[in-house]
Amino acid sequence: MCRPRVGSRRRRNLQVHGHRRPLPLETMIESLYLHVPFCEDICAYCDFTRVKIHPILVEKYLLTLFDEIKAIPKHPMKTLYLGGGTPSALATEELEALFSSLEGYHDPSTEFTMEANPDSITGEKAELMVRYGVNRVSMGVQTFDADELALLNRTHTAQDIENAISTLHQAGIHNLSIDLIYGLPRQTLESWEATLRHAVSLDISHISLYSLTIEEHSEFGRKGMKQCDGDLEAAMYFKAVQVLGEQGFDRYEISSFTKDKPSRHNLAYWHYDEFYGLGPGATQMTDHRRIVKTTNLDRYAKGKTVGEITELSVDDEQFEFIMMGLRLTEGIDLDRFESRFHLRAEERFAQAILENVAKKRLVLTTNRLACTDEGLAMLNDVLLSFLPDTP
């Protein structure tokens, strides 16, 4: 399921590469992401790793993916996530082959999420998902407005969404999340509020928000469509915070809202845990390396899975720990930072913390560093102050 880029389109590059060697990590890797790059149709905003689904391509992809799965230690993960692309676009027998390959990598305590499009959820697929342990589904809803759905080249309708939710509940999957997009071309604050109010009326437990970024190689980019006005985009975000909060959806991360069922898989990212990433275009973080798998499906099918490797220094990891953790409304557990890096964040980033506390963008307590509402609204500016000096 293709998602737009998270966060502001005006974000500056916050990556940094220092030279100090990181400390060894001794924890077992407990999160696994698998990327399924196939879609039945290509969304107008999408420039992710995705291709139109075809049985021959799927067969070649699965053979390599099975080899990747076999190469990682077999033990039950805390979280397992099938993303895309559109995993639910796979045929039932293809899905069953994929699920079978994951036996031993999850147990009943695992949060096992699968992304899906509303119009590709069938009773047969839902029952198959339950049989193989899927207990959470994230659906690419994006909007309930018919004109906006057509603009996005989405093939589902608002009724398809409600039908899919009903089908999943009947099969026994009750942990349901939907994605919504704001900042669409020609979208108004009124149409956005209508989408929000429709969303909160559904029997779901989680909503993720994404601001649209028009990427150069997407259909929107090729057509020269313009970004939403920045003030309107901000108004849409704050309207979402208001409407969702009034209806019992607590904001636990800058773009994530839940009724007591946060995404445990995404929390692993925000807590800066290590994770496996398999499949074309997937990202993996293990052994102080960020590994991005090749986006070329032909190359991937030949077993040449790695696209790019970035060695992470201790400066990289300390900054990224802060960058990911400050997205959470609960903020950063400072004892976890000390346990991982053998120094206190209050010492490592003393100037940045004092500066942002003085500006009322951060709150520092005995063991927590968290953004205020103003800090979350200006998170990129906050993070820039944490960037280490580079030679």
Reported as a single tens digit per residue, the pLDDT across 187-216 is 999 999 999 999 999 999 999 999 987 666
Buried b or exposed e, range 93-121, using 16+ CB within 10 angstroms: ebbbbbbebbeebbeeebbbbbbbbbbbb
User: What sections of 228-296 are H helices per DSSP?
Assistant: 230-246, 264-270
Q: What gap in Å lies between CA 131 and CA 1, rounded to an integer?
A: 22
Grade residue 389 by pLDDT with cuts at 50, 70 and 90. low
Does 314-391 match 31-269 at the fold level? no
Q: How far apart are CA 65 and CA 46, in angstroms?
A: 23
> How open is the CA angle 368-373-375, to the nearest 5 degrees?
70
For residues 137, 143, 148, 151, the Cα torsion angle rounded to the nearest 10 degrees is -20
- Please state which of the ranges 37-41, 91-95, 240-244, 356-360 shows the lowest mean pLDDT: 37-41
Note the pLDDT tens digit of each residue in 106-118.
Answer: 999 999 999 999 9
Q: What is the pLDDT of residue 82?
A: 99
Predicted local distance difference test score (pLDDT) of residue 214:
63
Residue 46: pLDDT band by 50, 70, 90 thresholds?
low
Residue % of the chain over a pLDDT of 90 = 78
How far, in Å, are 10, 153, 187, 211, 213 from residue 5 at the CA level? 11, 17, 18, 7, 6
CATH number of 31-269: 3.20.20.70
Structure confidence at residue 2 (pLDDT):
47
Which tokens sit at 136? 């959470």
Fold (CATH) for 314-391:
Arc Repressor Mutant, subunit A (1.10.10)
CA distance 16 to 310: 11
pLDDT value for 230: 86
Domain ranges of the chain: 31-269, 314-391
Please give the pLDDT value at position 4.
37
pLDDT score, position 268? 98
Instruction: Write down the pLDDT at residue 127.
Output: 98
Q: What is the pLDDT of residues 306-326, one digit of tens each?
A: 999 999 999 999 999 999 999
Query: pTM for the whole thing?
Result: 0.90
Q: Is the pLDDT of residue 369 over 90?
A: yes
pLDDT tens digits for range 173-192: 999 999 999 999 889 999 99
Q: Give the integer Cα–Cα distance in Å for 168 and 51.
A: 26
> Omega into 245 within 30° of 0, i.e. cis?
no
Query: Residue 9 — very low, low, confident or very high, per pLDDT cuts 50/70/90?
Result: very low
Output the CA angle 201-202-205, nearest 5 degrees.
110
Dist. CA 308–CA 282, nearest whole Å: 11
Closest alpha carbon to 27 in 317, 265, 339, 344: 339
Please state, for a pLDDT cut of 70, what percent of the chain lies above it: 86
Res. 227 pLDDT band, cuts 50 70 90: confident
Copy the structure tokens of residue 124. Answer: 């047969």
Taking all residues of the chain, what is their mean pLDDT, rounded to a whole number? Answer: 89
The whole-number average pLDDT for the span 259-284 is: 98
Least confident piece of the model among 14-23, 47-56, 294-303, 313-322: 14-23
- Asked whether 161 and 141 are in contact (CB, 8 A), the reply is yes
pLDDT of 155: 82
pLDDT of residue 166: 98
